[in-house]
Amino acid sequence: MSVALPAPRPEVVGWVPLLTGLAVVQALGAGPYAVPAALKWPNDVLVPQDGQWRKVCGILAQVVPAASAPGPVVVLGTGINLDQDREDLPVPTATSWRLACGSESLPPSARQAWLQDYLRALDGLLDLLERDPAALRAAYARRCRTLGQPVRVHLPDGSTEEGRAVGLDDSGALLVQSATGTRAHHAGDVVHLRHDRSTER
């Protein structure tokens, strides 16, 4: 699904895709079909299954001009695997919500409840971004499995960097500490190198 919303202040707009992932995590943890969920920076949503953390949701965000709005908008595209069987999934490291919660099926009422929980969480986190960015950063950090881990970051220019993910800066960039110092990465594909080298990408 896609959600369009007014773009926040430029200095915090980088947090929008991150808080969207957090909204998905919060919604997955609610209701009778709740599953524990966590984040891989910046916004991949993971759930545990068969002793591994597997991707259940990915998010894309794009700032676009709006002809009839007073300013730009952010379009959030959220793709969540709802009801697939294992053979229907695109890669071995993925899973679906139904598989993660161990249910034979997800009734339409569960999907509708999840959608409402997601939109409610998204609204609350967007409000928190404006009121207290530090509190939002702390809430995200509590759910982010990337922080504290040794990682390899595949950067947009094709290069890679290895180090330890030590935190997030005010813009939501990932801080990676290596032998050459600490660098902030605003984009990149992160691989967790501890224990699950082949299971999280």
Domain identity same for 7 and 52? yes
Domain identity same for 6 and 52? yes
**What does the pLDDT read at residue 185?**
93
Domain identity same for 43 and 87? yes
pLDDT digit string, tens, across residues 40-77: 999 999 999 988 999 999 999 999 887 776 788 999 99
**What does the pLDDT read at residue 69?**
65
**What does the pLDDT read at residue 199?**
39
**What does the pLDDT read at residue 70?**
78
Query: What is the 8-class DSSP label of residue 158?
Result: S
Domain identity same for 127 and 164? no
The domain tally of the chain equals 2
Domain identity same for 106 and 52? yes
* 179: containing domain: 150-192
Domain identity same for 76 and 163? no
Residue 125 pLDDT exceeds 50: yes
**30 CB contacts (<8 Å, ≥6 apart)?**
113, 114, 117
The pLDDT mean for the chain works out to 91
**What does the pLDDT read at residue 26?**
97
Around Cβ 126, how many Cβ atoms within 10 Å?
20
